[in-house]
Amino acid sequence: MNLLYCAPSDYSESPFETCANLMAGKMTVDVPLDIEQFLGCKTPVSWLEVAADRLPELLVDHAQCEKKAASSAMQLMFRYPDDEEMAKKMSKLAREELRHFEQC
């Protein structure tokens, strides 16, 4: 498949190493059907080629997305302080996203 997907539990190496191995064809990733259906199309090979040539920029952008996801989770915790169940889930999500940020 021409689609890149890594579940959070797949981060046994740095995102840079994972992307480099995918681009070099050293590993493959099976994309769950529901993700492919959600996206509606496969990632064009031309995009993958450009991304491979500009990997440092792609990783900086990805790191910013990880920080934003953590920030959004924290904002929800503060916006709804009485919702303990949501606070626990958002706290866990914020920590997970910050761990991803640290790997970038």
Q: Shortest CA distance to 60 belongs to which of 101, 30, 92?
A: 101
What is the structure's pLDDT at 14? 64
What is the structure's pLDDT at 9? 44
Q: What is the dihedral of CA 48, 51, 55, 57, to 10 degrees?
A: -160
What is the structure's pLDDT at 87? 95
Average pLDDT value for residue range 100-104: 84
Q: Which two tokens stand for residue 11?
A: 């981060």
* Helices marked H in the chain: 15-23, 33-39, 45-53, 55-79, 84-103
Q: Which helix (H) or strand (E) holds 57?
A: helix 55-79
What is the structure's pLDDT at 16? 61
Taking a C-beta distance cutoff of 8 angstroms, is the pair 70, 97 a contact? Answer: yes
Domain residue extents for the chain: 1-53, 59-104
Per-residue pLDDT reduced to its tens digit, 11-63? 456 666 666 666 666 666 666 777 777 778 777 888 888 888 898 898 899 99
